[in-house]
Amino acid sequence: MDQFHKMKIPSIFHFLFLILSTFFFIAQPSRIHNVSSSQNRLAFFVFGDSFVDSAEYANLPLIPPYLDPHNKLYIHGVNFASGGAGVLVDTHPGFAIGMETQLRYFKKVERSMRKKLGDSIAYDLFSNSVYFFHVGGNDYKIPFEDSSVHEKYNETEHVYTVIGNLTAVVEEIYKKGGRKFAFVAIPPLGCLPNTRLLKKEGDGSCWDEISALAILHNNLFPIALQKFADKFPGFKYTVADMYTLLQNRIDNPSKYGFKEGKKACCGSGSFGGIYSCGGMMRGMKEFELCENPKEYLFFDSYHPNERAYEQFAKLMWSGDSQVIKPYNLKQFFQYGSLQSFEH
């Protein structure tokens, strides 16, 4: 047990940290600290689903948690993300801070920035900033965890509902000046250790029905974004193909430096699929922890390990269109002006 508490739980923020570390190395100091020059205003806003250790990431100047009482200025951006969050209000209500509330927090930040910097400077800051979204997986997985819910809903309609609600959030941010939006595609949900465990056949294979929803979302969402871009001037977006990135490592872990691609390092039950790592599940304090987490693609029932996120970060930062398109994150961060995309 003590060994667990000495370990860092990997999450989406590990690769955000790596992305931002790369950014800090590349960017000029004036770009990060100078908010009085219009060409240097840049911030990073994170939305969606993340497990965040605020103490571990307190020294990241670009993305302090919104609820951090010491975070008052916001000029480098804000982390609004919440572990377990979804796009829909019915996804983990009372457990996570959903997109509706995250958007409300963003609007409070926007008003605060306008008061502190003035309308012109604040608008310029928001228009040059990057808005990063990692959300949607929980919205698609929850119906399969509750058979009564699963029986009542139409899968295609559900996907359109999630996409419609997400683009509505994007539109609200656009109205406040947001122009550059980066999204992480839904991963292969049916191949997570937890869903392998939950599959009623019990054969340990991927739950293809859940992954099919992820595929449908990933196919339809870029179409919705392009329609949005056609309608709203200056809107730029990019989507990282997390489905393929993770599926490749599940199918061929040794190619990417892992020995195990199906089982979780930390958890309980078959495949480590019970989310009990660190005593996280009520009524279940016991869990198993592997000797070498680096050998496992998945650290716990839902999340890849730190090495995997490091690989994702590098690919998303400077990868080609097979990984992220139409722009990689380096292009989004390196240019403080929207005009840079036109050349």
Q: 303 catalytic, yes or no?
A: yes
- Model pTM score: 0.84
**Class of residue 286 by CB neighbours under 10 A (exposed 0-12, middle 13-18, buried 19+):** exposed
Q: Examine the pLDDT at 1 and tell me if it is beyond 60.
A: no
Q: Examine the pLDDT at 3 and tell me if it is beyond 50.
A: no
CATH class of 11-252+311-335: alpha beta
**Domain boundaries of the chain, sorted by first residue:** 11-252+311-335
pLDDT tens profile 47-96: 987 633 322 322 335 567 788 777 667 777 888 888 788 888 877 776 77
146 vs 108 pLDDT, higher one: 108
Q: 241 catalytic, yes or no?
A: no
Task: Please give the Cα distance from 56 to 138 (Å, whole number).
Answer: 25
Task: Please give the Cα distance from 302 to 206 (Å, whole number).
Answer: 14
φ, ψ dihedrals at 131, nearest 5°: -115, 115
94 vs 342 pLDDT, higher one: 94
Before 326, cis peptide (omega within 30)? yes
Catalytic site residue from 134, 217, 300, 301: 300
* First and final C-alpha spacing in the chain: 55
Catalytic site residue from 50, 82, 211, 276: 50
**Other CB atoms within 10 A of residue 176 CB:** 18
Please give the distance of CA 14 from its chain centroid, rounded to a whole number: 11
Mean pLDDT score, 249-256: 98
The crossing angle, in degrees rounded to 10, of helices 155-175 and 137-145 is 150
**Other CB atoms within 10 A of residue 142 CB:** 17
Residues 6+ apart with CB under 8 A from 272: 193, 263, 264, 265, 266, 288, 298, 300, 301
| Helical spans, DSSP H, in 134-267 | 137-145, 147-150, 155-175, 193-198, 208-231, 242-251
Question: What tokens appear for 143 in the block?
Answer: 């119906």
Q: What's residue 71's pLDDT?
A: 67
Which of 341, 329, 339, 340 shows the shortest CA–CA distance to 44?
Answer: 329
Catalytic site residue from 92, 134, 217, 303: 303
Worst-scoring range by mean pLDDT, 17-26, 75-84, 220-229, 231-240? 17-26
pLDDT tens profile 49-60: 763 332 232 233
